[in-house]
Amino acid sequence: MQTRLFIGGEFVDSVDGDTIDVLDPHDGSLIAAVAQAKAADVDRAVTAATKAADGWSRMAAADRGRLLLRLADAIEADAENLALLECRDTGHPIRDTRNLDVPRTAATFRYFGGMADKFQGSVVPVEAGFLDYVVPQPLGVIGQIVPWNFPVMFCSWKMGPALAAGNTLVLKPAELTPCSALRIAELMAEVGFPPGVVNIVPGYGPTAGQRIVEHPQIAKVSFTGSTAVGMGVARDAAASLKQVHLELGGKGANIVFEDANLAAAVGGTAFGIFHNQGQACIAASRLIVHESIAEEFLERFIALAASIKVGDPKDSGTEMGPLTSTAHRDRVLAYIDIARQEGGEVLTGGTAPSDPALADGCYVEPTVVRVDPSARVACEEVFGPFMTVHTFSSDEEALRIANSVDYGLGGGLWTTNLSRAHRVARDLRAGMVWINSYKRVNPGSPFGGIGRSGYGREMGFEAMREVTEPKAVWVNVDAQLPPFYPRG
């Protein structure tokens, strides 16, 4: 396991030698002491990225793509090692890191490897005698700040399009979960990425992250994390007129209509809220269920929630692991106390598990709370295995509840009425909507939100536009222009 910074194609110590203790959230044991980047280390990384920028941007797009395809192959070859590393680092159950996180990471690098020589410019029909063509050009050095909830997957979401388009990178993984990003760096070096194209600098937000945001040679910052921090990123980046992409919080509305396939809705809702212990910006954190089926739905759903096997994430039978840190577990438990204080009814869960084998870990039981839609816990992002329940009597009321929060990332609905499905999808305030499913992602489908969920998009052609800027080139082919000033 690499524990040093990756700068200029080499693993190096931080300038002052400080480290970050990375802990296993299952039992609090030490996984590794990883080098802690500070401002001076970010400066070294930016220098390396700047030096590599011209060569990388001028490399044939197909050759950049081939390196990304080789990286995807290398990730698949290293899949079991990466899956275990991600499991220990984050608390994701090993069945999830094997079957979702690592395969999605490889698939994203493969998608953008194929995209590299297919992202085209255009020709604009202008006046006779002129050719006007528009080409997408890389921005230069891009700073990327990755969160702790899906670290290996988000590395590919941010790196893939930026590299395919010809940018170089300085990426800061979260201090809680830096290990998989450093392993990706190792694999990049092995498959032949030129030195300096990608630089990995684990560190804390107020030091390494802040320097990335402020550095004058970084053309754009792509940040995924909380809304509060994202607002600070946007404010501080403005000082250097730096472009910003923000993928922030969410409070997903999940509407179950009276004609829904109940079994599918129960299972899909459980995946939507409890996958990765609810630590997902697109989690189905607000269940909005029609009053005529609410009791039957909740009876089934609560039974399913109570049956989820919570335990050691390294056990292949575990269905829900620990939250990623002690501080975050305490935050989620505090929100459960808030729900009770607001008069909420805890229908299941609401505590840490009683199993003594889990006492040293960051565990919270799958929790369902019935509260008013205006309650704090129904409006603020909890980011854990915590779902609020609300009922409605009409489509209009369902939409009113769904759109009553400031977030607008993802939302879902369950119905067999085709007209209703499209109408409600149109009227939901969200960047992504799932119909009769929840939380599906694909490298070709744009991912991002509106409102307090941020702006800009990951994935697909939209992601390539995020990391390039169009340059218009005018060519006078045979236009005979009269002199504008006749005396010239």
No. of helices (H) and no. of strands (E), the chain: 16, 22
Contact between 408 and 431 (Cβ < 8 Å): yes
Which residues touch 286 (CB under 8 Å, ≥6 apart)?
Answer: 251, 252, 253, 254, 373, 378, 387, 388, 390, 401, 402, 405
247 part of the active site: yes
Beta pairing, strands 450-451 & 407-408:
antiparallel
Catalytic residue among 87, 155, 281, 362: 281
Question: Does residue 281 carry a catalytic annotation?
Answer: yes
Nearest to 318 by CA among 267, 274, 273, 282: 274
Would you give the distance in Å from CA 65 to the centre of its chain? 22
Q: Quick one: which of 106, 132, 133, 136 has its CA closest to 119? A: 136
Separation CA 464–CA 481 (nearest Å): 37
Q: Are 417 and 395 in contact (CB under 8 A)?
A: no
What the block records as the tokens of 411 is 């939302």
Q: Distances in Å between the alpha carbon of 254 and those of 285, 424, 425?
A: 8, 11, 11
Q: Which residue has the tokens 């990608």?
A: 198
* Distance in angstroms (rounded) separating the CA atoms of residues 432 and 429: 9
Q: Radius of gyration over alpha carbons of the chain, in Å?
A: 24
- Tokens 């998608």, located at residue: 111
CB 420 within 8 A of CB 394: no
What are 414-423's contacts with CB under 8 Å, separation 24+?
Answer: 414/254, 414/255, 414/256, 414/257, 414/260, 414/261, 414/264, 414/265, 414/268, 415/257, 415/259, 415/260, 416/259, 416/260, 416/261, 417/257, 417/259, 420/257, 420/395, 423/395
- Of the residues 86, 175, 179, 247, only one is catalytic, namely 247
Reference 468, options 217, 220, 106, 114; nearest CA is 220
Q: Is 379 left (phi over 0), alpha (psi -120 to 50) or beta?
A: alpha
Tell me, letter by letter, the H, E, C secondary structure of 107-129: HHHHHHHHHCCCCCCEEECCCCC
CA dist., res. 94 & res. 178, Å (int): 18
Q: Known catalytic residues?
A: 247, 281
